[in-house]
Structure 1
Amino acid sequence: MASQKNSVNLYHMGLYANQELLNWFVETYPKHSNKKLDMGKSCIRFKYLDDIPFALIGELCSKISVKDWIALYEATLKK
């Protein structure tokens, strides 16, 4: 059965605010998908639901806690 085209966009502000996290994601993505990474500043775009590397997205979500995100956000505001 062919993949149904249902584009999905995932936004993760940690990728925008944390260069180390962004670098990790960009380097790790090809290990989880053979599709070209389609990404904006914080947006990761998938054309097909079957293209979503759920294990990688789960790992990404575990890389920064809510508490850490708030601290990063507040530190950025103070600059």
Structure 2
Amino acid sequence: MALRQILADNLRRARVAAGLSQEELADAAGVDRTYVSALERCKYAASLDVMERLATALSVNPASLLADVGDVSAHVGRT
């Protein structure tokens, strides 16, 4: 699976698990809601800085946003 698709899937999964709307996540991460939507639809590639801000807003390890779903080790050690 393409890395951009993995990010999109993991971002959506983490956002829903956190009980956040795209707008709430965007506000917490300091990005526009349409940007979060575009990331979840694989329209844009996020920079490392943006991925770090999204992970912080979601209280997850940044590496978990890029981990293949089958890679359980990336989800260990959440921040």
- TM-score bracket, shorter-length normalisation: 0.3 to 0.5
> TM-score, normalization: structure 1?
0.38
> TM-score, normalization: structure 2?
0.38
Q: Structure 1 or 2: larger strand share? A: 1
- Relative contact order, higher structure (CA 8 A, sep 6+): 1
Q: Structure 1 or 2: larger helix share? A: 2
Larger Rg belongs to = 1
